[in-house]
Amino acid sequence: MIPVRGYAGAKVAVLGLGRSGLATARALVAGGAEALLWDDSPEARAAAEAEGFVLTDLGRAGALEGVVVLVTSPGIPHLYPAPHRIIRAAMEAGVPVDNDIGLFFRSFAAEDWDGFDVTPRVIAVTGSNGKSTTTALIAHILAEAGRPVQMAGNIGRGVLDIDPAVDGEVVVLELSSYQTELARALTPDVAVFTNLSPDHLDRHNGMGGYFAAKRRLFAEGGPDRAVIGVDEVEGVFLAGQLAEGAADDRVIRISSGQKLDGFGWSVFARKGFLAEWRKGRQVASIDLREVAGLPGAHNHQNACAAYAACRTLGLAPREIEAGLRSFAGLPHRSQLVGERGGVRFVNDSKATNVDSAAKALQAFARIRWIAGGMGKEGGIAALQPLLGSVAKAYLIGHSARDFALQLGDTPYEICETMARAVERAAAEAEAGDVVLLAPAAASFDQYPNFEKRGEDFTARVQALAIA
């Protein structure tokens, strides 16, 4: 646990008692604060009471009197589409609003760091797609190289729930736009921006607000090094804002598909090869084509981001390459879950939107595509140019019939359930095919989350007695 600093003896309100909220409450108490806890969910309140916390209804009149800060969980709206009533009351009363990320950055450094040989560092990763894989990949590479490392944030443990840093340790954080938008302190040593595509637009009132939330990590965080994906215009803009010029190697531009040889420092992947360029010359190259845990151009972009971040910490290219090759991938993200008769079964249940599904469809040559769920605005119409690799689609969930109308000439079958889709795809697949779960839709029509959907797919595949 990281005890929260700066609030000893003060009243701090905590709104939202999920994983991060309870971790925040524990860390506040450990730092000497008086924590006033509330959640609109009776189940969450009961879980907090089971830990011995006393609840305070923050919505009642006078509940915020004497409170010096309100700490809110990331899933609770604070601006768009409308502020939660308690957050609005806090803002109107002049009570600052923060989150656990802000508390972490003001509390992470400790007195015993003066005796360390190597000061602990924080790498923070944000973006639309690839955040989790990039975060986990950085942590894996560091661990394989013998560096002490912890992973937290939007993946793994809550940021305040991690252990105090040891000499030379690196903390790798995955940060969502919900987390970067509100944190009152953002001071990573290295910040990574993977890419940007439309998501959470209602929460940020459009793409401009969404990008602004991501940009805060760099503009207000002031990292020593910034790793910026420049395959979208927003990344190009951000890199240009942070750098003093093309030769400024404090900004490392990364790409999957572009050659970036005119900058002070860049890392890019083309035709399956990762290349690092510094001051106009290539200094390293890695063949990514046989790295099983990182298939496809989107994962090659993740590899570039992780490679660049690890290079800023002084790791050698050969150390990073070893970590890339031993990375097994994350569950539900281009995860190979089995093979039978030359047919591979890949779980990409995390592909909950069109952009992430597009990346999955581009990673394989001949696909038996399992798609559907709670479709988002526009359905899958934008995927039309990528359907040439799809031998047949097997459609499930609420949007199955809507998706069928957008497939053009691509063969399809309405399967409704995961069990039926896996059964039919496995029966029709031929050697060399990939049965790919990349739903391009949310899971909430049939599953509580994308993880449960991916677990169901994996269980159905394993039931096929795959060797």
What secondary structure letter does DSSP report for 463?
T
- Whether 2 is in a domain gets the answer no
- Whether 221 is in a domain gets the answer yes
Total domains in the chain come to: 3
Residue type, 36: L
- Whether 5 is in a domain gets the answer no
Confidence label for 198 from pLDDT (cuts 50, 70 and 90): confident
Burial class (CB in 10 A: 0-12, 13-18, 19+), 289: exposed
Q: Would you say residue 41 has pLDDT above 80?
A: yes
Q: Final residue of a domain: which of 63, 98, 133? A: 98
CA dist., res. 37 & res. 45, Å (int): 8
Q: Final residue of a domain: which of 98, 118, 139? A: 98
- Whether 1 is in a domain gets the answer no
Q: Final residue of a domain: which of 286, 307, 326? A: 326
- Whether 205 is in a domain gets the answer yes
Q: Specify the DSSP element, H or E, that contains 363.
A: none
pLDDT at 465: 66
Indicate whether 203 and 269 sit together in one domain. Answer: yes
Indicate whether 81 and 181 sit together in one domain. Answer: no
- Whether 103 is in a domain gets the answer no
Please count the other Cβ atoms lying within 10 Å of the Cβ belonging to residue 135: 31
Confidence label for 329 from pLDDT (cuts 50, 70 and 90): confident
Q: Give start and end residues of each alpha helix (H) in 327-372.
A: 354-361
pTM: 0.86
- Whether 6 is in a domain gets the answer no
Q: Which residues of 144-177 are buried (b: 16+ CB within 10 A; e: fewer)?
A: bbebbbbbbbbbbebbbbbeebeeebbbbbbbbb
Helix/strand/coil (H, E, C) string of 124-187?
A: EEECCCCHHHHHHHHHHHHHHCCCCEEEEECCCECHHHCCCCCCCCEEEEECCHHHHHHCCCCC
- In this prediction, residues 198-211 reach a mean pLDDT of 90
Confidence label for 356 from pLDDT (cuts 50, 70 and 90): confident
Q: Specify the DSSP element, H or E, that contains 424.
A: helix 418-428
Indicate whether 208 and 315 sit together in one domain. Answer: yes
pLDDT at 467: 42
Tokens representing 22 are 């309870």
* Interstrand relation of 225-229 and 190-193 (parallel, antiparallel or unpaired): parallel
Q: Would you say residue 256 has pLDDT above 90?
A: yes
Indicate whether 240 and 114 sit together in one domain. Answer: yes
Indicate whether 112 and 91 sit together in one domain. Answer: no
Indicate whether 415 and 378 sit together in one domain. Answer: yes
Indicate whether 119 and 252 sit together in one domain. Answer: yes
Q: Tens digits of per-residue pLDDT, 382-401?
A: 999 999 999 999 999 999 99
Q: Are 186 and 220 in contact (CB under 8 A)?
A: yes
Indicate whether 85 and 32 sit together in one domain. Answer: yes
Indicate whether 129 and 23 sit together in one domain. Answer: no
pLDDT at 296: 87
**Where do we find the tokens 């506040």?**
28
Q: Tens digits of per-residue pLDDT, 297-320?
A: 889 999 999 999 999 999 999 999
Residues flagged as binding site: 127-133
Indicate whether 188 and 314 sit together in one domain. Answer: yes
The domain spanning residue 124 has which CATH number? Answer: 3.40.1190.10
- Whether 467 is in a domain gets the answer no
Indicate whether 176 and 125 sit together in one domain. Answer: yes
The domain spanning residue 340 has which CATH number? Answer: 3.90.190.20
Residues flagged as binding site for ATP: 127-133
